[in-house]
Amino acid sequence: MTYSTSLTNGALLTSERERCLAPALLPLSPMIMTRTGDVSHPLRPANPVDEHYRRHLPEIHKTFSLRLIDVEKDGERFHRWQNDPRIAAFWEYPFDRATLDGMIRERLGDPHCTPLIGCFDNQPFAYFECYWVAEDRLAPYCDHGPFDQGVHVLVGETTHLGRANTVGWLNALSHYLFLREPRCQTLFGEPRVDNRAILRYTHPLTAWRKRYEFDFPHKRSALLSCARRDFFEEST
């Protein structure tokens, strides 16, 4: 499957945006500046409730979709995922249900964050925490633009692990992020340096590249990035 090409100015073809994105995401927010603490950044759009993106992935014969997380619908599932030792080793949130429900509500109320459930054929399998880099803790560690985005990823259902599935959802997730904000030029990730499960899916398997390592106060991370031009030229 080939992802649509971008125009020379970085904007995406309207027909492609309409085909994959929820209608509520199609209008672009104007460039209105605001502040979070000492950080000046564009005013972020509200997150639509329910589905954000849907695309069939013929190479794995599955349909990938993204929807906003819901405490009532997803709380027990999120609790189970976070208490799986495989996931807790990196996320470090092996908390009780009430604490994790509170975390979900906090993310839903944070304008710099878009907490999403990833589905294959409408069955939830992953949690993706998307964010605007400018007002995130990552900002001092990377060269970012005002509309660039980052993401934390968690695949909770082991039946959807594996190379083909991972390349499929990672490309589709990247596609969603570039589509929802055509002014975004780079996507970022900052997994722990020993998280080989995700680091193995950098270039040439995908358009994501490891740039360097750096130290957060709580972990040593690898800075990953995916440039818009690289994604639309290389992703299939």
Q: Are 116 and 127 in contact (CB under 8 A)?
A: yes
Choose among 160, 108, 151: nearest CA to 131: 151
Residue in the block written with tokens 């502040």: 35
What's CA 191's distance to the chain center, in Å? 13
Choose among 223, 58, 56: nearest CA to 139: 223
Residue in the block written with tokens 């309207």: 14
Q: Which of 190, 213, 233, 234 is catalytic?
A: 190
Q: Is 190 a catalytic residue?
A: yes
Q: Residue 52: which H helix or E strand, with range? A: strand 51-57
> Residue 40: beta bridge partners?
35
CB count within 10 Å of CB 181 equals 20
* Enzyme catalytic residues: 190
